[in-house]
Amino acid sequence: MNKRKLTALILSALMLAAMTAGCKKEPQPSETAITSESAPSAIQTTEATTETTPLVTYSAEEYSAAGVNELNSVPILMYHRIYDMRNDETEYTGGNVDIDGYNRTSEAFEADLRSYYSQGYRMMRLSDFVDGNIDVAFGYSPVILTFDDGIRDVVLEGWNEDGTPIFDPTCAIGILEKIKAEYPDYNVTATFFVNSSLFGNGEEDDRRVMQWMVDNGYDIGNHTRDHVKLGGCTAEEIEMQVGAMYKILEDIIPGQYVNIVALPFGSPESITDETPQYRKIFEGTYDGFSYTSRASLLCAWTRAYSPFVRDYDYTAIRRIRGYDHNGTDFDIEDNFNQLNNGRRYISDGNPDTIVFPASDNSSGDWLKDTYGHQVITY
């Protein structure tokens, strides 16, 4: 094999939009991609792609060797409380603190983080994922951490003289900070979804802690004011639960929280024409305060679709429950085994391009939304 530069088809967002916007018989990307015979020079661009940044920095062979595939899936972990316990101190499997594994030992959580790193995963912000902005080094895969409920996630022990917080080293953020110091290229970050009780450190301390968090690379999102199951609620109840929580966040960290809702109990699982009230999760007004949400998260079981593919649904983003079940039943190990067995998103290192094997879009409609990025197939 000679190492000729990539014979890639680059579609501008415009061109793709034209192709997917209702024309039935347009050529599909995969049908026109990769014909090395007929494409002597590296790339084809359309007039709409006038950016000056270099588009193709790798050959098809290099993409293939690294398994680059940005239509594959991303693990979004759902954690709850992290307890100061060793695994052998619990009655349950692995690092589970309760029978269902919603809460995790500090020993297991730290081991999880080291495991994701060693398997070639690097962290990124959930909000960037929702924006289709996936900035992970070439050949690596994104992993996203989320925490629901706030309890035992950020346990404050006091304040240093310079105003920085002292965390319990066994709570979630204590362990995250330790790992952050150890692995500078891990890009440690997480999104914490809170209720009106916040992190339980008392309002004054929580206000200071939350400001420190958003200033130090962590995100805070909406888990409803009272941890209410929104499925079954009226429009007004939803506006109150979602709107009041946004209002609290706006008061504490104005404009610095993420407009994403982690749905308590993963409910509702879907929004249909019969349930228009659930649209209030995404747009509403409470007590004179208007809000919008960009996405909502389900409760866990499995990997999330890439935001670029047809089955991705920003109203029902899937997560993986951070628990142990001997490598079965969609526990962490089971999910990562599935991901590592050909299902994982592997980055091309450039957030402005979407790269994947042409065969992965052979149906022509698996790639659905480019978020304005350029598309390269190999």
Minimum separation from the CB atom of position 26 to Zn ion (A)? 44
| DSSP E strand boundaries for the chain | 8-11, 43-44, 76-79, 82-83, 104-105, 121-123, 141-148, 156-159, 165-167, 191-194, 219-222, 260-262, 283-286, 289-292, 295-300, 317-321, 353-356, 374-377
What does the chain come to in residues? 378
Minimum separation from the CB atom of position 319 to Zn ion (A)? 12
DSSP per position, 67-110: T-BTTSBB-EEEE--EES--GGGSSSSTTBSSTT--SEEHHHHH
C-alpha 32/C-alpha 358 separation (Å) is 9
Of 221 and 351, the one with the shorter C-beta distance to Zn ion is: 221
Q: Which of residues 256-295 bind Zn ion (CB under 5 A)?
A: 264
Of 134 and 220, the one with the shorter C-beta distance to Zn ion is: 220
C-alpha 29/C-alpha 367 separation (Å) is 9
Locate 164 and state its tokens: 């920085």
Of 41, 40, 44, nearest in space to 27 by CA? 44
Locate 293 and state its tokens: 């949400």
Stretch that binds Zn ion, among 92-100, 144-152, 204-212, 283-291 (CB under 5 A): 144-152
Contact pick of 70, 110, 148, 334 for Zn ion (by CB under 5 A)? 148
Minimum separation from the CB atom of position 95 to Zn ion (A)? 19
# of chain residues touching Zn ion (CB under 5 A): 3
Minimum separation from the CB atom of position 167 to Zn ion (A)? 21
Contact letters for Zn ion, residues 217-256 (x by CB under 5 A): ----------------------------------------
Of 148 and 348, the one with the shorter C-beta distance to Zn ion is: 148
Residue 153 contacts Zn ion per CB under 5 A: no
Residue 369 contacts Zn ion per CB under 5 A: no
Residue nearest to Zn ion (CB): 148
Of 290, 221, 216, 217, nearest in space to 252 by CA? 221
Residue 149 contacts Zn ion per CB under 5 A: yes
Minimum separation from the CB atom of position 264 to Zn ion (A)? 5
Stretch that binds Zn ion, among 27-35, 145-153, 203-211, 325-333 (CB under 5 A): 145-153
DSSP per position, 346-369: B--S-TTEEEE-GGGGTTS-SB--
Of 147 and 282, the one with the shorter C-beta distance to Zn ion is: 147
Q: DSSP secondary-structure letter at 11?
A: E
Of 148 and 153, the one with the shorter C-beta distance to Zn ion is: 148
Minimum separation from the CB atom of position 149 to Zn ion (A)? 4
* One-letter amino acid of 199: F
Of 29 and 264, the one with the shorter C-beta distance to Zn ion is: 264
Of 149 and 239, the one with the shorter C-beta distance to Zn ion is: 149
C-alpha 135/C-alpha 58 separation (Å) is 16
C-alpha 46/C-alpha 12 separation (Å) is 6
Minimum separation from the CB atom of position 85 to Zn ion (A)? 20
Of 308, 227, 261, nearest in space to 126 by CA? 261
Of 187 and 296, the one with the shorter C-beta distance to Zn ion is: 296
Minimum separation from the CB atom of position 275 to Zn ion (A)? 21
Name the site residues for Zn ion (rule: CB under 5 A). Answer: 148-149, 264
